[in-house]
Amino acid sequence: EVRLVESGGGLAQPGGSLRLSCVASGFTFSSYTMNWVRQAPGKGLEWLSYITGTTGVINYADSVKGRFTISRDNAKSSVYLQMSSLTAEDAAVYYCARMNVIRGQAFDFWGQGTIVTVS
Protein backbone atom coordinates (compact mmCIF):
# COMPACT_ATOMS: atom_id res chain seq x y z
CA GLU A 1 0.00 0.00 0.00
CA VAL A 2 1.37 3.39 -0.99
CA ARG A 3 1.59 5.80 1.92
CA LEU A 4 2.87 9.34 2.22
CA VAL A 5 3.11 10.85 5.69
CA GLU A 6 4.00 14.50 6.19
CA SER A 7 5.33 16.04 9.39
CA GLY A 8 7.06 19.16 10.61
CA GLY A 9 4.20 21.60 10.43
CA GLY A 10 3.43 23.94 13.27
CA LEU A 11 3.64 27.55 14.33
CA ALA A 12 6.34 29.76 12.85
CA GLN A 13 6.98 33.46 13.35
CA PRO A 14 6.94 35.86 10.40
CA GLY A 15 10.40 35.82 8.89
CA GLY A 16 11.05 32.45 10.44
CA SER A 17 11.80 29.02 9.02
CA LEU A 18 10.30 25.56 9.11
CA ARG A 19 11.29 22.21 7.61
CA LEU A 20 8.65 19.81 6.40
CA SER A 21 9.25 16.11 5.88
CA CYS A 22 7.36 13.47 3.94
CA VAL A 23 8.10 9.79 4.42
CA ALA A 24 7.01 7.40 1.70
CA SER A 25 6.35 3.67 1.78
CA GLY A 26 4.86 0.99 -0.43
CA PHE A 27 6.69 1.85 -3.64
CA THR A 28 10.20 2.30 -5.05
CA PHE A 29 10.70 5.86 -3.89
CA SER A 30 13.73 6.67 -6.03
CA SER A 31 11.75 5.95 -9.20
CA TYR A 32 9.29 8.79 -8.69
CA THR A 33 9.26 12.55 -8.90
CA MET A 34 7.88 14.03 -5.69
CA ASN A 35 6.01 17.28 -5.26
CA TRP A 36 4.84 19.72 -2.61
CA VAL A 37 1.42 21.35 -2.91
CA ARG A 38 -0.23 23.71 -0.45
CA GLN A 39 -3.73 24.92 0.28
CA ALA A 40 -4.35 28.10 2.24
CA PRO A 41 -7.47 28.15 4.45
CA GLY A 42 -10.56 28.29 2.27
CA LYS A 43 -8.49 28.53 -0.90
CA GLY A 44 -7.52 26.32 -3.81
CA LEU A 45 -4.53 24.11 -4.45
CA GLU A 46 -1.14 25.63 -5.28
CA TRP A 47 1.70 23.55 -6.68
CA LEU A 48 5.01 24.58 -5.09
CA SER A 49 7.89 22.39 -6.19
CA TYR A 50 9.06 19.09 -7.59
CA ILE A 51 12.21 17.02 -7.40
CA THR A 52 12.91 14.13 -9.75
CA GLY A 53 13.79 10.68 -8.51
CA THR A 54 17.41 10.00 -9.30
CA THR A 55 18.78 13.01 -11.16
CA GLY A 56 17.40 15.44 -8.60
CA VAL A 57 16.13 17.98 -11.10
CA ILE A 58 14.20 20.66 -9.23
CA ASN A 59 11.62 23.26 -10.14
CA TYR A 60 9.71 25.82 -8.09
CA ALA A 61 6.66 27.98 -8.42
CA ASP A 62 7.51 31.66 -8.66
CA SER A 63 5.72 32.31 -5.36
CA VAL A 64 8.32 30.34 -3.37
CA LYS A 65 11.43 30.52 -5.54
CA GLY A 66 14.38 31.74 -3.47
CA ARG A 67 12.61 31.09 -0.15
CA PHE A 68 11.78 27.38 -0.24
CA THR A 69 14.17 24.50 -0.93
CA ILE A 70 13.11 20.99 -1.84
CA SER A 71 15.39 18.01 -1.28
CA ARG A 72 15.15 14.25 -0.95
CA ASP A 73 16.95 11.32 0.63
CA ASN A 74 16.20 8.18 -1.34
CA ALA A 75 17.83 5.98 1.30
CA LYS A 76 15.23 7.24 3.78
CA SER A 77 12.38 7.39 1.24
CA SER A 78 11.87 10.97 2.26
CA VAL A 79 11.33 14.34 0.64
CA TYR A 80 11.75 17.63 2.45
CA LEU A 81 10.70 21.24 2.08
CA GLN A 82 12.84 23.84 3.83
CA MET A 83 10.83 27.03 4.14
CA SER A 84 12.35 30.37 5.10
CA SER A 85 11.34 34.03 5.23
CA LEU A 86 7.83 32.92 6.07
CA THR A 87 4.92 35.33 5.85
CA ALA A 88 1.25 35.08 6.76
CA GLU A 89 0.55 34.16 3.12
CA ASP A 90 2.49 30.90 3.63
CA ALA A 91 0.00 29.63 6.22
CA ALA A 92 -1.59 26.56 4.68
CA VAL A 93 -1.94 22.81 4.68
CA TYR A 94 1.12 21.41 2.94
CA TYR A 95 0.81 18.15 1.02
CA CYS A 96 3.45 15.96 -0.54
CA ALA A 97 2.32 14.10 -3.64
CA ARG A 98 3.73 11.46 -5.96
CA MET A 99 3.86 12.21 -9.66
CA ASN A 100 3.27 9.22 -11.90
CA VAL A 101 4.49 9.38 -15.50
CA ILE A 102 2.25 6.45 -16.37
CA ARG A 103 -0.69 8.56 -15.21
CA GLY A 104 0.21 11.41 -17.52
CA GLN A 105 2.40 13.01 -14.86
CA ALA A 106 -0.60 13.48 -12.59
CA PHE A 107 -0.37 13.19 -8.82
CA ASP A 108 -1.72 9.74 -8.00
CA PHE A 109 -1.00 9.59 -4.27
CA TRP A 110 -1.09 12.33 -1.66
CA GLY A 111 -0.24 12.55 2.00
CA GLN A 112 -2.75 13.70 4.60
CA GLY A 113 -1.10 17.10 4.88
CA THR A 114 0.66 19.04 7.63
CA ILE A 115 -0.55 22.42 8.83
CA VAL A 116 1.70 25.47 8.87
CA THR A 117 0.64 28.54 10.81
CA VAL A 118 2.57 31.82 10.60
CA SER A 119 1.89 34.22 13.40
Per DSSP, helices labelled H in 1-119 are: none
d(CA 115, CA 93): 4
In this structure, which amino acid lies at residue 54? T
Contact assessment for residue 79 and residue 22, using Cβ atoms and an 8 Å cutoff: yes
State the nearest-atom distance from the C-beta of 97 to other proteins, in Å. 8
- Select the span of 14-22, 41-49, 66-74, 79-87 touching other proteins (CB under 8 A): 41-49
Distance of CA 52 to the CA centre of its chain: 13
Under the binding rule (CB under 8 A), the answer on residue 108 touching other proteins is yes
Identity of the residue, 18 or 48, whose beta carbon is nearer to other proteins in the bound complex: 48
**51-80 mask for other proteins (x: CB under 8 A)?**
--------x-xx------------------
- Which of 21, 69, 110, 117 is the binder for other proteins (CB under 8 A)? 110
Give every CB contact of residue 83 below 8 A, 6+ residues apart in sequence.
Answer: 12, 17, 18, 19, 20, 64, 67, 68, 90, 116
Write out the residues near other proteins by the rule CB under 8 A.
35, 37, 44-47, 50, 59, 61-62, 95, 99, 103-108, 110-113
